[in-house]
A and B are shown apart, each in its own frame.
Chain A
């Protein structure tokens, strides 16, 4: 089957007085692995359930393969969904679970048997045909849920937090398997998660959602390097973020911040307007290097250090502010002690200006 695109146009939805989705617009490309990323209550699951047909939007339209599915009941949409808790029916065997959707489509028995076998093979569970879901591990249950969904050859695959019920180690492995499977089948996939790492590592593009609004759509690197606003900057990766005013001082600008104090910005740093925050990532901060050239220069005192293996995370007091800095660890290097005065510098290219 040729992959199809999913278009969401001006969709709004409210439960009673609560506005859950506001003017949502998305154009998901055929074959794309697309993530809806956001904190709980951001509306990401509601949007996914809406595409599956479990929620009805009050405004706008949802198109699957160019066809408006608004008003089409869930059982006629042919968009496969893998539920967060897998929703395997405990009274059926694995094989019966996988065959269910094919039986609903009144397929000949022989063909069903063939497709069930193929689907279970796809997820490496061919030998588990006659087991009950209760006899399987969490990871196996999840693979059965995927096989059950893929068996009906859906136009679109919807994944609702598929990794959240797995333990940390299995999560990474399953994540990679999901990506391989998606690339192999080329099926348009929409993936809901609250975990930025999951979204960044698996998806072609991500829509970051908050309070029922899409904050930004982009590739993982676009989101990380060019966050559109404060929310995206803070939600995707860690960030040092300071609000303040900009005052011209000759050719350069002086940033006047309540917390950070007054600092001179490097010559190439040009904020787009005056009501934006100054932001930079912890890994962009160089600790103990005096600034020369196109850098933002700060000075402060080490307050706290956390050793995370690959790097040391310092909390550094700069005036009233606390700046987070990640320094790669090398063998044998001792951490700076609390109270040590340090000079900090951030390359101008790593400075971001983000608005509300």
Chain B
């Protein structure tokens, strides 16, 4: 579509750009600046040198790398067979695998971590059984092992979903040609199938690496502090906002995140994955023989049990009085829920408010950016897309610290107090980091709306704004709803930004409440109850969005090109 520069569009784009600059670019730059600044405005590497001289920092760096790498490897081991099974074989367990793909994501990793202690910890159910019957225990939840275990079970779906999508896109003749030339089984998978699915795998694996490397909540709940993110948090909260080592850690986190993203992008681009055009229909999926079927079901059931364990554990924790040094909890009670309803009503409301507003802001920005990028010829419009993508690589911890530093002393109008001490900061922080998800949904939705539908509206006399309101947005409804829900769900489980930005308890959302409860043994029950409520809200949100998306679907009968 050929259109000139439109002043309305340009001012909207500028406003969005300004918002992203103030709340994404500036805080990150402030963090980077502080890490390299000698305090008098000069450049220095001294802070990095002192970082390298502290043995705890070196240890934390090595630990973070170890945990992220090991998690990627273990998540690969879990996800690859599952993805291959669903896509390439005739198989009844496909529904179970799809469930496996979303189940872990509805509960934040740090929430599940506490429940995992009770099941797999030193005196948890599994080890008690092992000790009584076989006289040995497994140190599954000890130190870094625990972090790796919890993160693996939480994040393997990223690899599963990306890899499955990549596998499904491979033309079946690629595999058949290899079989025709004499390859089968492991050789076929290793030489042909997996290399062709590599783009999806790399995308998933790099995401897992970033998420785990930056995670703050899980190590803190498991009391593991000799990792980078907890160290940054502890430095900034205990020594103070002026301590340069915290900023050095932040720069390292950002560098690794951007490095992993850029690396995966470079890797996929470097190789020629351009697939030859599809010929004919998808070949029938292969059948499994008896032994293979047994192995496949064994794997799925095993993973399903592990994945469900934090959910079950959390539910049991919330419903029983005592659960320690016993295989199963004892004394059923509803007292934890009563406590939560008495003490934490405000937190539940805060979560709904912050996450609802943040998600709303995300879909408004997402729709506007998608429209500007895909439907206008505004110079530099791709910059908005790239800026938002950068947010994907920004650790919440870094953004949180950046906010505290950048907006220190900023007063809001109308006597609303300091920005960093108001509820508004949560909405903005959540919105900025969730914007990439919302934007992807909106872009996908708008791509499916044929430009001719808009041209038809303009042709019969509707102006641009009326066309957007009456034609574009209604046709994008499904994608907008999906974007809203993804933003809402992920924001509700956010903990890194949350613990940094919570200045007083009355402002805290549920995730903070859960974290706080988990700090003490007595708080485990109420914490679990609050966690169950959070999962319920997230599950309800997902369900409602599916309903809404299904209801909106008939309106989307336009050209799906």
Is B184 interfacial (CB 8 A cutoff)? Answer: yes
Do B179 and A88 touch across chains, with their CB atoms under 8 A apart? no
Question: Which B residue sits closest to A141, measured CB to CB?
Answer: B276
Do B177 and A83 touch across chains, with their CB atoms under 8 A apart? yes
B-side contacts of A87, CB under 8 Å: 171, 173-174, 176-177, 276, 279
Do A152 and B279 touch across chains, with their CB atoms under 8 A apart? no
Interface residues of B in 179-235 (CB under 8 A from A): 179-184, 187-188, 191-192, 195-196, 198
Do B177 and A73 touch across chains, with their CB atoms under 8 A apart? no
Determine how close the nearest CB of chain B comes to the CB of A81; give it in whole angstroms.
Answer: 5
Do B195 and A91 touch across chains, with their CB atoms under 8 A apart? yes
Do B275 and A90 touch across chains, with their CB atoms under 8 A apart? yes
Interface residues of A in 59-104 (CB under 8 A from B): 73-81, 83-91, 100-101, 104
Interface residue from B176, B178, B274, B280 paired with A90 (Cβ < 8 Å): B274
Do A52 and B280 touch across chains, with their CB atoms under 8 A apart? no
A274–B283 alpha-carbon span in the complex (Å)? 45
Do B181 and A101 touch across chains, with their CB atoms under 8 A apart? yes
Is B464 interfacial (CB 8 A cutoff)? Answer: no
B-side contacts of A80, CB under 8 Å: 180-181
Do A100 and B196 touch across chains, with their CB atoms under 8 A apart? no
A73–B188 alpha-carbon span in the complex (Å)? 13
Kindly state the interface size class of chain B when it binds its partner: 20 to 34
Is B559 interfacial (CB 8 A cutoff)? Answer: no
With A91-B271, A104-B187 known as contacts, the answer to whether A85 contacts B276 (CB < 8 A) is yes
Do A74 and B278 touch across chains, with their CB atoms under 8 A apart? no
The B contact surface, by secondary structure, is loop
Determine how close the nearest CB of chain A comes to the CB of B293; give it in whole angstroms.
Answer: 18
Do B196 and A83 touch across chains, with their CB atoms under 8 A apart? no
B275-311 interface code vs A (CB 8 A; 1 in, 0 out):
1111110011000000000000000000000000000
Question: Which A residue sits closest to B182, measured CB to CB?
Answer: A104
Is B272 interfacial (CB 8 A cutoff)? Answer: yes
B-side contacts of A104, CB under 8 Å: 178, 181-183, 187
Is A45 interfacial (CB 8 A cutoff)? Answer: yes
Determine how close the nearest CB of chain A comes to the CB of B38; give it in whole angstroms.
Answer: 49
A-side contacts of B179, CB under 8 Å: 53-54, 73-75
Interface residues of B in 157-172 (CB under 8 A from A): 171
Determine how close the nearest CB of chain B comes to the CB of A188; give it in whole angstroms.
Answer: 16
A-side contacts of B198, CB under 8 Å: 91
Do B278 and A85 touch across chains, with their CB atoms under 8 A apart? yes
Determine how close the nearest CB of chain B comes to the CB of A163; give it in whole angstroms.
Answer: 13
Question: Which A residue sits closest to B173, measured CB to CB?
Answer: A87
A243–B534 alpha-carbon span in the complex (Å)? 76
Determine how close the nearest CB of chain A comes to the CB of B524; give it in whole angstroms.
Answer: 50
With A87-B171, A100-B191 known as contacts, the answer to whether A152 contacts B182 (CB < 8 A) is yes
Determine how close the nearest CB of chain B comes to the CB of A161; give it in whole angstroms.
Answer: 8
B-side contacts of A132, CB under 8 Å: 272
A-side contacts of B181, CB under 8 Å: 75, 80, 100-101, 104, 148-149, 152
B-side contacts of A15, CB under 8 Å: 284
Is B273 interfacial (CB 8 A cutoff)? Answer: yes
Do B171 and A91 touch across chains, with their CB atoms under 8 A apart? no
Determine how close the nearest CB of chain B comes to the CB of A79; give it in whole angstroms.
Answer: 7
Is A237 interfacial (CB 8 A cutoff)? Answer: no
With A54-B176, A85-B173 known as contacts, the answer to whether A101 contacts B283 (CB < 8 A) is no
Count of chain A residues with a beta carbon within 8 Å of a chain B beta carbon? 38
A-side contacts of B177, CB under 8 Å: 81, 83, 87-89, 145, 148
Determine how close the nearest CB of chain B comes to the CB of A142; give it in whole angstroms.
Answer: 11
Determine how close the nearest CB of chain A comes to the CB of B184; give it in whole angstroms.
Answer: 4
Question: Which B residue sits closest to A77, measured CB to CB?
Answer: B180
Is A134 interfacial (CB 8 A cutoff)? Answer: yes
A-side contacts of B173, CB under 8 Å: 83-85, 87
Is A331 interfacial (CB 8 A cutoff)? Answer: no
Determine how close the nearest CB of chain A comes to the CB of B282; give it in whole angstroms.
Answer: 12
A-side contacts of B196, CB under 8 Å: 89-91
A74–B188 alpha-carbon span in the complex (Å)? 12
A-side contacts of B195, CB under 8 Å: 89, 91
Interface residue from B176, B183, B274, B275 paired with A83 (Cβ < 8 Å): B176
A101–B279 alpha-carbon span in the complex (Å)? 22
B-side contacts of A86, CB under 8 Å: 276
A77–B182 alpha-carbon span in the complex (Å)? 8
Interface residue from A55, A75, A145 paired with B183 (Cβ < 8 Å): A75
Determine how close the nearest CB of chain A comes to the CB of B268; give it in whole angstroms.
Answer: 11
A54–B274 alpha-carbon span in the complex (Å)? 25
Do A73 and B184 touch across chains, with their CB atoms under 8 A apart? yes
Question: Which A residue sits closest to B183, measured CB to CB?
Answer: A104
Determine how close the nearest CB of chain B comes to the CB of A12; give it in whole angstroms.
Answer: 17
B-side contacts of A79, CB under 8 Å: 180
With A84-B279, A84-B280 known as contacts, the answer to whether A90 contacts B180 (CB < 8 A) is no
A-side contacts of B274, CB under 8 Å: 90, 134
A37–B279 alpha-carbon span in the complex (Å)? 18
Is A133 interfacial (CB 8 A cutoff)? Answer: yes
B-side contacts of A54, CB under 8 Å: 176, 179, 283
A-side contacts of B284, CB under 8 Å: 15, 55
Determine how close the nearest CB of chain A comes to the CB of B147; give it in whole angstroms.
Answer: 35
Interface residue from A88, A89, A105 paired with B182 (Cβ < 8 Å): A105
A156–B150 alpha-carbon span in the complex (Å)? 54
Do A89 and B180 touch across chains, with their CB atoms under 8 A apart? no
Do A91 and B273 touch across chains, with their CB atoms under 8 A apart? yes
With A85-B278, A87-B171, A101-B182 known as contacts, the answer to whether A74 contacts B272 (CB < 8 A) is no
Interface residues of A in 137-161 (CB under 8 A from B): 141, 145, 148-149, 152
With A45-B280, A84-B279 known as contacts, the answer to whether A100 contacts B178 (CB < 8 A) is yes
A10-36 interface code vs B (CB 8 A; 1 in, 0 out):
000001000000000000000000000
Determine how close the nearest CB of chain B comes to the CB of A69; give it in whole angstroms.
Answer: 13
Determine how close the nearest CB of chain A comes to the CB of B181; give it in whole angstroms.
Answer: 3
Interface residues of B in 349-364 (CB under 8 A from A): none
B-side contacts of A78, CB under 8 Å: 182
B-side contacts of A134, CB under 8 Å: 272, 274
Question: Which B residue sits closest to A99, measured CB to CB?
Answer: B181
B-side contacts of A145, CB under 8 Å: 177
Do B180 and A91 touch across chains, with their CB atoms under 8 A apart? no
Interface residue from A74, A75, A83, A105 paired with B279 (Cβ < 8 Å): A83
Interface residue from B182, B271, B273, B279 paired with A85 (Cβ < 8 Å): B279
10 smallest beta-carbon distances between A and B, as pairs: A101-B181, A85-B279, A87-B177, A104-B182, A87-B173, A84-B279, A74-B179, A75-B184, A134-B272, A104-B183
Given contacts A81-B176, A91-B273, list 13 more A-B pairs with CB under 8 A.
Answer: A52-B176, A74-B179, A83-B176, A83-B279, A89-B178, A89-B196, A90-B275, A91-B272, A100-B181, A100-B183, A101-B183, A105-B182, A148-B177
Q: Which residues on B are within 8 Å of A, measured CB to CB?
A: 171, 173-174, 176-184, 187-188, 191-192, 195-196, 198, 271-280, 283-284
Q: Which residues on A are within 8 Å of B, measured CB to CB?
A: 15, 45, 52-55, 73-81, 83-91, 100-101, 104-105, 132-135, 141, 145, 148-149, 152, 165
| 13 A-B interface contacts by CB (under 8 A) | A52-B180, A75-B181, A75-B184, A85-B171, A85-B276, A88-B177, A88-B276, A89-B177, A89-B178, A90-B273, A100-B191, A104-B178, A133-B272
